Structure 1
Amino acid sequence: MKKTYYLFNPGILQRKDNTLKFTPVEEDGNGLEHPGQPRYLPVENIGEFYAFGALNANSALYNFLGQNDIAVHFFDYYENYTGSFMPRDSLLSGRMLLAQTGYYQDKKKRIVLARKFVEGAAFNMIKNLRYYQTRGKDLDGVIEAIERYCSQLTGASSVPELMGLEGNIHQMYYDGFDLIINDFQMDGRSKQPPSNEVNALISFGNMMCYSQCLRAIHQTQLNPTISYLHTPGERRYSLSLDVSEIFKPILVDRVIFKLLNKKAIQEKHFDHKLNRCLLNPNGKKIFVQAFEERLTETIQHRSLKRKVSYRHLIKLECYKLSKHLLGMEEYKPFKMYW
C-alpha cells in the first residue's frame, strides 16, 4: 500500500535514478543555508506528499511525479492550503463532465445533492456528540438543537437556505466542543486567523481532510471544480469542500478530541503570534501522525462485506456520487453506524 509522506522541513526534492531524494535545508542566523542528511524514498511506495515547508524542485522532478501518479499538496506558513500538484487527469470523462454540469444547472437536482451533503454531515456530528454523551458529557441540549435544524432541511427551497441551516448546525455543534474537551476552550469558531488552540486544530485538520478528498476525487472521473453545496468559484476545488463535510466529523474532530483529552497535544505545541494561534512544528507532527493513523483504521463495510480503511471510504463516496450523476444509483451519504 502506498504511503503519504509529510515534509515539515524546507528542502530540495530531486529525482535520483528511479527513486526520490529529499535533502532538508536549514538556515542559520546569517541567512545561509545548510543542507542536512538526505533521505532516499522508493517511488513505488509513495502515494502523495504534504509540503509544509518551502520545497525546491524543478520541472523534471514534477514530470517524474506525474508519471508515477504522485500528488503534492502545499501549505503556507500559516497552515493554509495553497494548492496541489496533481498528476494528469487520465480518468476524466466527457460524459461525467456533462452529467456534473447538468446536475449543477438543474436547481431541483442540485438542491437534492446539496441537502444530502448537509444531512450526512449533521448525522455524523450527532454521532460524535452521542459518543461523548455516553461518556458522561452533558450534550442533550446541543443534540436537540441540531436535530431541530435538521428537521428543517427538507423544507429548504434553495442552496443559500441550506447553507444557512448548515451554518446553524455547525454553530451548535461547535458549542458542544467546550463540553467535550477538558483543558481547552473553543469560544466559538474563528478561521482567518484561528484565535486559539482548538480553532487552530480545526483549521489545520480541515485542510488535511480537504486535500484527502481532492486526491480521492482525482482518482475517479469526477471534476473537482463542479460542486453542489458550495458554489463553484475561481481557483478552488469546491467539490472537495462538499465531500469533506461528511468526513470532517469522522476524521478531524475525533482526532482533535482524542489528542486534547489524552494530553498528546498541549499548550507547548502552539505558537501565539499577532492575534493568531498556530500549531508549531512538533504539534503538526503529532496531529499528522494521529490523522494518518485514523485514515488507515479499518471498519467492516456493510455493503462490501469486508474491511476498508477510512481513506478508502472517501474514494468509495466519490464512486457513489458518480453513480448518482450517471443515473445508476441514488447517492446516499456515508453515515457512521457504530
Structure 2
Amino acid sequence: MQKTLYLFASGRLKRKDNTVCVESEEGTKYFPVTSLRDIVVFGEVDLNKKLLEFMQENEVILHFFGHYGNYVGSFYPREHYNSGYVILRQAEHYLDPGRRLNLARKFVEGALANILQVLRYYQNRGKDLAPYIEPIACLAGDRLPLCGNIEELMAIEGNARAYYYDSFNIILEGAPFVIKGRSKRPPADPLNALISFGNSLIYTKVLTEIYKTHLDPRIGYLHATNFRRFTLNLDVAEIFKPIFADRVLFTLVGKKMIGSGDFERHGTAVLLKESGRRLYVKELEDKLQTTFYHRRLKRNVSYQTLIRLELYKLEKHLIGEETYEPFVSRW
C-alpha cells in the first residue's frame, strides 16, 4: 500500500538506489520509492535534480509547505496518464457556459450536502444546530438550482460556509477555542488555523489523485481556469473538505487532543506549531485509511480510494458515459 511521506525536520532528500533517503537531525531513513504516493515537505529540505528525475520516473509528487504550514507549491512530474481526448473534453466543458455551470453546480451541491450531513450528525447527538441547518438547506434546495452563473454559485457557497463555520462554536461547546468568522490570510485564531491547514492538505491530496488519472488539473469549473497553476483539485476538494478536514478538526479539538500549546502567534496570525501539524496529519491519515461499505461498488473501500473514484466519475461525465453526481457521505 502506498503512503504519503511527511517531512517535518530539516535536512536532505536524495536518491539511494531504489529508495528515497531522508537525512535529518532525526537520523537517516530509507523509504522504497514504490511505497510512496507523494511526499509533503514542511522542513527546510535540500534536494537535487537527480532526486527530481527519480520522482518523475516513479510518478511521485512533492508538495511543499512553508515554515508555518502554508502551502507553497508542488513538483508535478511530467504527466504519464494525460489523454488528449479527455483534455479536449475538459476544455469543451469549460468553454461551454451551460456545461461549465452544470459541473460547477455539482461541486457546490456536493459540498453543501456533506456540510449538512456533518451538521445533522452532531444535531442527532444533542447539539442545537437547527439555526444553521435550516438556512443552509434552504440555500442548497431553493437557491442553488436557480443560479445562472458561476459568481452566484460562489456567493451561495460562501453564505452557506459562513453559517457552517459559525456552527463550530456549538459543535465544540466547552472546547478552549472559539471562531469569530472565517479568516484566511492570516488565520486569526486556532480554529481558523486548523481549517486553513486542513484545507491545504485536502487540496494536495486531490492533486495527487488527479495525477493518477487522465484529467488535467489546470482545467477547473467552479474555480476559474486562468494563470493559476491548478484549479480542478480546488473544485473536487470542496466535496471532501467537510468529511475529511472538518471531521479531523472536530476530533482533535472536541477530544482535547490538541491544545493552546500547539499554536503560536505571529503578529495577527495564529499558526500551528510542528506538534500541531504532526497531530493533524496523523489523524487525517488514519481517517483516509479507514474503510466503509460503498453501496454502488458493493464492497469496502478506503476514504483515500474514494477521492480517485470521484475523479473517475468526473472523467466518465466528460466523455459522455455517465452523468456526474457528487459523493455524499452517509455519516
Structure 1 unmatched runs, 5+: 26-35
Select between 80-89 and 239-248 the one with higher mean Cα deviation: 80-89
Task: Tell me how far 1:337 sits from its aligned partner.
Answer: 1.9
Task: Tell me how far 1:233 sits from its aligned partner.
Answer: 2.4
Match of 1:316 in 2: 309
1:86 matched to 2:76? The reply is yes
Q: What does 1:103-182 align with in structure 2 at a 5 Å threshold?
A: 103-150=93-140, 151-182=142-173
Match of 2:8 in 1: 8
Q: Give SS of 2:145's match.
A: helix
Q: Structure 1, residues 126-164: CA drift from partner, whole Å, max 9, x if none?
A: 000000011111000100010111111111111111111
Match of 1:212 in 2: 205
Which amino acid in 1 is paired with 2:45? L
Once residues 247 and 108 of structure 2 are traced to their aligned partners in structure 1, the CA distance between those partners, rounded to angstroms, is: 19
Q: Structure 1, residues 48-84: CA drift from partner, whole Å, max 9, x if none?
A: 1100011101000111111112111001123221111
Once residues 153 and 18 of structure 1 are traced to their aligned partners in structure 2, the CA distance between those partners, rounded to angstroms, is: 51
Of 188, 191, 198, the residue aligned with 1:195 is: 188
Which amino acid in 1 is paired with 2:3? K
1:225 matched to 2:215? The reply is no
Once residues 171 and 233 of structure 1 are traced to their aligned partners in structure 2, the CA distance between those partners, rounded to angstroms, is: 26
Match of 2:272 in 1: 279
Q: Give SS of 1:48's match.
A: strand
Match of 1:257 in 2: 250
Where do 4+ consecutive residues of structure 1 move more than 6 Å?
none
Structure 2 unmatched runs, 5+: none
Q: Give SS of 2:243's match.
A: helix
Which amino acid in 2 is paired with 1:123? A
Question: What percentage of aligned pairs have identical amino acids?
Answer: 46
Q: Give SS of 1:176's match.
A: helix
Which amino acid in 2 is paired with 1:315? R
Once residues 62 and 236 of structure 1 are traced to their aligned partners in structure 2, the CA distance between those partners, rounded to angstroms, is: 19
Q: Structure 1, residues 250-294: CA drift from partner, whole Å, max 9, x if none?
A: 100001001101000011100111111111011110001000001
Once residues 19 and 67 of structure 2 are traced to their aligned partners in structure 1, the CA distance between those partners, rounded to angstroms, is: 28
Q: Structure 1, residues 65-117: CA drift from partner, whole Å, max 9, x if none?
A: 11112111001123221111123211111111110111111111111111110
Q: Structure 1, residues 200-236: CA drift from partner, whole Å, max 9, x if none?
A: 0000000000000101111111110111111112133
Match of 1:29 in 2: none
Select between 108-117 and 16-25 the one with higher mean Cα deviation: 16-25
Scaled by the length of structure 1, what TM-score is found?
Answer: 0.95
Q: Give SS of 1:137's match.
A: coil
Match of 1:295 in 2: 288
Once residues 107 and 42 of structure 1 are traced to their aligned partners in structure 2, the CA distance between those partners, rounded to angstroms, is: 46
Which amino acid in 2 is paired with 1:129? L
The Cα RMSD (Å) is 1.0
Once residues 212 and 132 of structure 2 are traced to their aligned partners in structure 1, the CA distance between those partners, rounded to angstroms, is: 37
Once residues 73 and 246 of structure 1 are traced to their aligned partners in structure 2, the CA distance between those partners, rounded to angstroms, is: 21
1:336 matched to 2:329? The reply is yes
Which amino acid in 2 is paired with 1:166? E
Does the aligned pair in 1 maintain the 2:68–2:273 contact within 8 Å? no
Match of 1:31 in 2: none
Which amino acid in 2 is paired with 1:192? R
Q: How many residues in Structure 1 have an aligned counterpart in Structure 2?
A: 328
Task: Tell me how far 1:296 sits from its aligned partner.
Answer: 0.5
Which amino acid in 2 is paired with 1:331? Y
Q: Give SS of 2:165's match.
A: helix
Once residues 9 and 253 of structure 2 are traced to their aligned partners in structure 1, the CA distance between those partners, rounded to angstroms, is: 25
Task: Tell me how far 1:19 sits from its aligned partner.
Answer: 1.6
Q: Give SS of 1:84's match.
A: strand
Match of 1:44 in 2: 34
Q: Give SS of 1:88's match.
A: coil
Task: Tell me how far 1:172 sits from its aligned partner.
Answer: 0.7
Once residues 295 and 190 of structure 1 are traced to their aligned partners in structure 2, the CA distance between those partners, rounded to angstroms, is: 26
